[in-house]
C-alpha cells in the first residue's frame, strides 16, 4: 500500500480491518439503570481533573443495556459518572466504564477517550426487580437493584438530562510511553427519542477490587434511581482543554 493510500484509509487499527466502523453510532432501545448516591467529597476532588469542578458529593452509578447499536452490536456496560461543571455549565464526567464487547471498547477509547475496560456487566428484569450487576473476572464488584417501573417520570425532564454535556479525559501514549495526547473531550447524546422513564426504591452495593476500583467512591446514601429507555445517537466529540499545551 503506497503512502497516499495509507493516509487516505487510516482511521482506526488494524489498518486493513479496523476494530470498529466509521460512525455515526445510533442506539435503539438503549436502556439505563442509573442509581445516584452520595459519597466522599474529598475523594471526588482528588480524582476529578481540573478544569472540571465538583459541586456536590454525588456519583451516578450506571448499568446500560445496548441491544442494538450501529457498528458495535449487542452489549452491556457499567460504571461511574460524576456530576461536574465546566465554565459554569453543568455536565457529567465519566470516571470508569466496564463492558463486554471489543469494538465499543476500542472505538470508545480511540475516538472519544472513554475509560473502558473489559468485564462482565448485566442488566435484566427478574420478576418485579430491575437488577444490574458487574463482574470483573469471577469477582462481583457491583450490584444495583430497583423496583421495576414503580412510578413514571417526566420524559421531557429525563431527555434534558440525557442531552447535557459529557466530559472525558482522553489519553494516548507516545511510543516512548509518555503522553502524546492528553485532552479534555466534550460530547453530547443527540437525536434522543424517549421510550419511557421510571423510578422506584433502589439499592447499590460496591465491592473492593484492585483493577475495578468502583468501591473507592463509597456509597453513603442513595439519592435517586432512574430506569430510562431511549433511542439516541452518540455524537462525536470536541477538545475543550489540552493538558499538554499547558506544559
Residue 86's nearest CA partner among 165, 170, 188, 187 is 165
Convert 27-63 into a string of H (helix), E (strand) and C (coil): EEEEEEEEEEEECCHHHHHHHCCCCCECCCCEEEEEE
90: how many CB neighbours lie within 10 A of its CB? 13
Which of 4, 8, 116, 124 is labelled catalytic? 116
195 in catalytic set: no
Which residues, at least 6 apart from 167, have a Cβ–Cβ distance to it below 8 Å?
A: 52, 84, 86, 91, 92, 93, 94, 184, 185, 186, 240
Q: Which of 183, 187, 168, 146 is nearest to 61 (CA)?
A: 146
Query: To which H or E segment does residue 221 belong?
Result: strand 221-234
Placement of cell 462525536 in the chain: 236
201 contacts 146 by C-beta, under 8 angstroms: yes
Cell of 171: 489519553
Counted residue by residue, the chain has a size of 247
SS3 43: helix
CA distance 202 to 36: 10
d(CA 231, CA 222): 27
* Residue 85 grid coordinates: 461543571
Residues with a catalytic annotation lie at: 116
Amino acid at each position: 500500500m503506497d503512502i497516499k493510500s495509507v493516509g487516505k484509509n487510516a482511521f482506526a487499527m488494524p489498518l486493513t480491518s479496523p476494530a470498529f466502523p466509521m460512525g455515526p453510532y445510533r442506539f435503539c432501545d438503549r436502556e439505563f439503570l442509573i442509581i445516584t448516591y452520595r459519597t466522599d467529597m474529598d475523594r471526588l476532588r482528588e480524582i476529578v481533573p481540573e478544569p472540571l469542578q465538583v459541586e456536590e458529593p454525588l456519583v451516578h452509578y450506571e448499568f446500560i443495556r445496548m441491544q442494538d447499536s450501529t457498528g458495535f452490536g449487542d452489549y452491556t456496560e457499567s460504571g461511574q459518572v460524576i456530576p461536574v461543571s465546566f465554565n459554569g455549565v453543568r455536565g457529567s464526567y465519566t470516571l470508569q466504564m466496564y463492558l463486554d464487547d471489543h469494538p465499543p471498547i476500542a472505538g470508545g477509547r480511540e475516538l472519544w477517550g472513554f475509560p473502558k475496560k473489559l468485564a462482565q456487566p448485566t442488566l435484566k428484569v427478574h420478576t418485579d426487580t430491575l437488577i444490574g450487576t458487574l463482574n470483573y473476572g469471577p469477582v462481583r464488584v457491583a450490584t444495583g437493584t430497583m423496583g421495576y417501573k414503580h412510578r413514571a417520570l417526566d420524559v421531557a425532564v429525563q431527555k434534558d438530562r440525557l442531552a447535557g454535556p459529557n466530559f472525558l479525559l482522553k489519553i494516548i501514549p507516545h511510543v516512548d510511553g509518555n503522553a502524546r495526547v492528553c485532552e479534555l473531550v466534550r460530547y453530547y447524546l443527540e437525536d434522543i427519542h424517549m421510550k419511557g422513564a421510571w423510578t422506584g426504591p433502589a439499592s447499590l452495593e460496591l465491592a473492593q477490587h484492585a483493577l475495578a476500583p468502583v468501591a473507592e467512591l463509597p456509597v453513603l446514601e442513595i439519592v435517586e434511581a432512574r430506569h430510562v429507555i431511549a433511542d439516541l445517537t452518540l455524537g462525536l466529540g470536541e477538545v475543550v482543554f489540552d493538558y499538554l499545551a499547558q506544559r
